[in-house]
Structure 1
Amino acid sequence: MRDEPLMRAIRTAGGVSALARAIGMRNPQSVSQWRRVPAGRARSVAQATSIPLHELRPDLWDPPAANDDTIIPPPGGAAAHAEAA
């Protein structure tokens, strides 16, 4: 039985064959035998489907840290902000 992240990747790609092609595999049968996205293929599957690594393989990748300490530069960069002040 396939895990949900793999099923989602297959649906997003448009099927097993489409996912195999998108990640450069010649044999879609290999993909059809996966139970979950293999660690060695996770990056290419993530890139092909836009599904984050932490969703494909939460056992290997942590979700991005959500912190409010992120500094977002003002439009035009810091120099433009300094001139306006």
Structure 2
Amino acid sequence: MEIADKKKISNRLKRTEGQIRGILKMIDEEKECIDIVTQLSAVRSSIDRVMGLVVAENFKKCLEEPSENPELQKEKIEQAIQLIIKK
């Protein structure tokens, strides 16, 4: 994975971590349920984006640097596709 991609993923995860801390604070302060759920939804969306970036980057690497074993290559591509579909 390229350094720029690692930094992008790291920054997204740090932002998500901050969102989770904010949610914990909202719970402690007994904020409205709808506000907490809205923030939880934002965290889920952020995690989904990070997962997409990781899978896409690994899929790209798999295509750019094919395995010498065609069966292993096919298996890796199918795994990446399943991860994307599962999302």
- Give the TM-score category using the shorter length: under 0.3
Query: Highest CA radius of gyration, 1 or 2?
Result: 1
Superposition TM-score, scaled by structure 1 size? 0.25
Greater RCO (Cα-Cα under 8 Å, separation 6 or more): 2
